[in-house]
Amino acid sequence: MSQEMENHYREILSALGENPEREGLQDTPARAAKAMQFLTHGYQQSLDDIVNGAVFSSDTDEMVIVKDIELYSMCEHHMLPFIGKCHIGYLPRGKVLGLSKFARIVDMYARRLQIQEELTRQIANAVQDATDARGVGVIVEARHMCMMMRGVEKQNSSMKTSVMLGDFRDNLPSRQEFLTLVYN
């Protein structure tokens, strides 16, 4: 754990008017530093490490979809969480990706300071890079604490972003099939 980060959290507590030495806060700087390191551990990961060779030859050329992958990320503007789910579809071209790798790819990018739009694009590009698919579609649906806890304080708002690559972008029937399978 970073002693420097722990010291900064202690300074933040003091700047808020708190006493970092009071009983309930004595260990908070260390816990907060440890939590932040966990919440941003995606910076220490790479696509090659995540995929770890789990790309397999396959004659499958029909659409593959993984739905409702939970995601937890942090808004880079306010460092507040956004929480949601990700849906990924791809059209294999001779290679398929191990199922758990989709969740690991989502987590790798979500565990960085992010905006949802960029997160969606990073996931789509990673799946494309890992599989060389004919097409990739990614939809992220999330609720942002920066909208809910501060600012406009809108409790029921959510955001949906999508990125379509290859046949999902260029072929309307493929795009429609993906959207129908995700939302039905």
| 122-164 pLDDT tens trace | 999 999 999 999 999 999 999 999 999 988 888 889 999 999 9
Residues 155 and 124 in one domain: yes
β-strands 81-91, 64-75: how paired? Answer: antiparallel
Q: Do residue 109 and residue 145 come from a single domain?
A: yes
pLDDT at 2 over 90: no
Examine residue 147 and state whether it is found in any structural domain, yes or no.
yes
pLDDT value, residue 70: 98
Could you tell me the pTM of the whole model? 0.95
Let me know whether 115 and 77 are in one domain. Answer: yes
86 is in an annotated binding site: no
pLDDT digits (tens, 9 = 90+) for 11-26: 999 999 999 999 999 9
Q: What number is the average pLDDT over the span 94-109? A: 97
Residue 113 and residue 27 in one domain: no
Query: The domain spanning residue 121 has which CATH number?
Result: 3.30.1130.10
- The CATH number of whichever domain residue 28 belongs to comes to 1.10.286.10
- Quote the mean pLDDT of the chain: 96
Q: Which residue range forms the structural domain that includes residue 156?
A: 53-183
Count up the domains in the chain and report the number: 2
State yes or no: 75 annotated in a binding site: yes
In a domain? residue 47? no
CB atoms within 10 A of CB 135: 23
Residue 171 placed within a domain? yes
Same-domain check for residues 83 and 117? yes
pLDDT tens for 107-125 read: 999 999 999 999 999 999 9
Q: Which of 137, 61, 142 is nearest to 102 (CA)?
A: 137
83 and 19 part of one domain: no
Angle value at C-alpha 56, between 52 and 57, nearest 5 degrees: 150
Domain membership of residue 23 (yes or no) is: yes
pLDDT at 139: 98
In a domain, 150, yes or no: yes
